Amino acid sequence: MKCSVSFLLLFCFAAVIVGAFVPKATTKRRTASISSRLFYDIQRDPHPNDNVWSILANTEKWISNTLADSQTGKNNPLVRKEVSYVCETSSDPAMILANIFRRVKEARQMGQSHGQDQEELIDQHGEDKHNRATLRQTQVLVIPANEELNQSFQDFDAIIVAINQARRAARDLVTDNALETLDEKMYGEGEDRDWVVSVNCAHLHPKYGEKTPEQELQELKEEESQGEVDLNLEMYKKQRIFARRSPYPSVVIEVRSMVPPEYPPPPPTGPVSPRSIDEIDIGKGDTDSSPGSDAELKINADTVNQLEALFAKSSLDSSTKSNQEGEDFYESIGSHIETLSSVTPLMVAQNWINENDSLFDANQCSFTVSDTTHVDEAYEFLFTNLGMQTSQFLEAGGSNNNNDAFGNEATQQQSPTNDTQKRQYIVMPHFLSSSATSLEKFTKQAERIIRTLPLIGRNIDLACFHPEDVDERKRCPIPVIVLQLKA
């Protein structure tokens, strides 16, 4: 009897599993899930730990329904864009930040590569046979795994606002890549045309537009001061808020790559060439010269000798021919010798920090190096290193939140473990190496973003070292950003 009951339970359990994934073809009722074009396993209110495809399916279905409801006739401005969906499975807020900047970096690289491909097609086929096409793509990054971001719209909104503010401030930074591009344009080695690549970030949330009690009180005071309320305007604002209430916290990244506008050239003017020395009458003077300038314009052999003595170069004396031959011999030898140095930027930074940083401890410090030159890539590298440290920090806090032997819930003590590197040095030799002010601004913007992170925002400090820093104690030969994990 026991065997038959267990067999019956096993058979029923297997039937439930099979029925969950096999659609019922015998039914004739057209439900919303069957009539949908989405080929995902759609579930009702899936948990963040459930199937990723169902999370993406819910988000895509919500966006499709929202666009269908807002479409009037055949004019929908969002239909022309290509939309892709990506799910961020990490629950660590620092790693979520790193992956957001990684998506921004990939969008920028996509726009730049599109411009290069279009210019290559123009070179191959000519201006008459190929028209430059504008690239527009949209990517929806769904972030369902972090419970704090799911429950609090204010925290998620503060993170996205800080990210956009940091990206706007990055326009004023003097990067090494910008200096190289400027040098190429000055010497005529750059490309003929640089495409305009713009990357925009917006956010969606299940509780989008939810206000704190303080904000609601302030809004009521403003309504009382105004006296009259426009009901149509209030309805319009509510519809805009409801249109952004997605099933999960999401970041919408849009990239556009287009040809820069062509400005008309300035009006032509007659050429103005300087007069030669033969056209200037030194004896009688010139009308444009001031009195007493005749003596300054006289050039004789004494003036030439004085100039040669000043610059220690002689173009007329041939007595040093033997010395020049010896110098040419050694120069020819040195031109064929390649100098290889075993000293890396990481070693230079380590030696300087060991001698000048009082907080350096070999047992609790680590070093990482990056060759990045772009701002978004630097943010990605910074937050990736932060995520590696805070993951151990969060695991330590989660392990202390278990029940003790008496069944009581232990208090959560968020403190770094012994294995956590409490101080990390990020060496970036090719990032903002020519401007200490730019590196300081970058560090402040990164710290402002970190302050918005839940659980770990107040436990991280940032500092920077630079060769051109105003403080002599921070003049490291290599740009370095310091991550300090507070106990």
- H-type helices in 126-228, by residue range? 147-151, 153-169, 176-186, 213-226
Q: Note whether 385 and 483 are within 8 A (CB).
A: yes
Mean residue pLDDT of the chain comes to 75
Q: What percent of the chain has pLDDT over 70?
A: 67
**Which of 27-41, 106-120, 215-229, 318-332 has the highest average model confidence (pLDDT)?**
106-120
Model pLDDT, residue 71: 57
Residue 370, amino acid: S
DSSP element (H, E) containing 388: helix 375-399
pLDDT of 266-282, one tens digit each?
776 666 666 666 665 55
Q: Quick one: average pLDDT of 228-252?
A: 86
Model pLDDT, residue 289: 47
Q: What percent of the chain has pLDDT over 90?
A: 34
Burial level of 428, CB count in 10 A (0-12/13-18/19+)?
A: buried
CA distance 302 to 300: 6
In this model, does residue 449 exceed pLDDT 90? yes
CA distance 370 to 426: 8
**Which of 37-51, 52-66, 373-387 has the highest average model confidence (pLDDT)?**
373-387
In this model, does residue 469 exceed pLDDT 90? yes
CA distance 194 to 8: 70
Measured distance between the N- and C-terminal CA atoms of the chain, rounded to whole angstroms:
61
Among candidate residues 419, 417, 418, 422, the one with its CA nearest the CA of residue 366: 422
Model pLDDT, residue 296: 53
In this model, does residue 11 exceed pLDDT 60? no
In this model, does residue 111 exceed pLDDT 70? yes
pLDDT of 117-158, one tens digit each?
988 888 888 888 888 888 999 999 999 988 999 999 999 999
Tokens of 35: 């009539």
DSSP 316: S
Residue 441, amino acid: K
Q: Does domain 345-397+416-485 correspond to CATH entry 3.30.450?
A: no
Give the residue with greater pLDDT, 312 vs 13. 312
Question: Band of the pLDDT at 329, cuts 50, 70, 90?
Answer: low
Q: Please, where in the chain does CATH 3.30.1370 lie?
A: 345-397+416-485
Question: Band of the pLDDT at 392, cuts 50, 70, 90?
Answer: low
Model pLDDT, residue 282: 53
Among candidate residues 370, 316, 366, 363, the one with its CA nearest the CA of residue 479: 370
In this model, does residue 418 exceed pLDDT 60? no
> 3-class SS at 85?
strand
Q: What is the largest CA-CA distance in the chain?
A: 131
Q: Note whether 56 and 46 are within 8 A (CB).
A: no
In this model, does residue 445 exceed pLDDT 50? yes
CA distance 88 to 55: 10
CA distance 57 to 33: 11
DSSP element (H, E) containing 205: none
Tokens of 418: 């012994």
Long-range CB contacts for residues 321-328, cutoff 8 Å, separation at least 24: none
Residue 445, amino acid: Q
pTM: 0.70
> 3-class SS at 281?
coil
Phi and psi angles of residue 347, each rounded to the nearest 5 degrees, phi first: -65, -40
Model pLDDT, residue 347: 93
Lowest mean pLDDT among 231-235, 313-317, 407-411: 407-411
Please count the CA atoms within 13 angstroms of the CA of 262 that sit on its side-chain side.
4
Model pLDDT, residue 212: 84
CA distance 466 to 48: 43
Lowest mean pLDDT among 152-161, 183-192, 376-385, 434-443: 183-192
Model pLDDT, residue 309: 72
In this model, does residue 90 exceed pLDDT 80? yes
Pairing of strands 196-204, 250-258: antiparallel
* CB neighbourhood size of 354 (10 A): 11
Model pLDDT, residue 17: 36
Model pLDDT, residue 70: 59
Model pLDDT, residue 323: 57
CA distance 32 to 382: 44
Tokens of 361: 């401890």
Q: Which residues pair with 141 in a beta bridge?
A: 86, 251
In this model, does residue 100 exceed pLDDT 90? yes
The dihedral of CA 331, 332, 335, 339: what is its sign? negative
Q: Note whether 206 and 144 are within 8 A (CB).
A: no
Burial level of 95, CB count in 10 A (0-12/13-18/19+)?
A: buried
Long-range CB contacts for residues 342-345, cutoff 8 Å, separation at least 24: 345/369, 345/427, 345/429, 345/478
Q: Which residues pair with 428 in a beta bridge?
A: none
pLDDT of 294-306, one tens digit each?
555 567 777 777 7
Model pLDDT, residue 240: 85
Model pLDDT, residue 239: 85
Question: Band of the pLDDT at 349, cuts 50, 70, 90?
Answer: very high
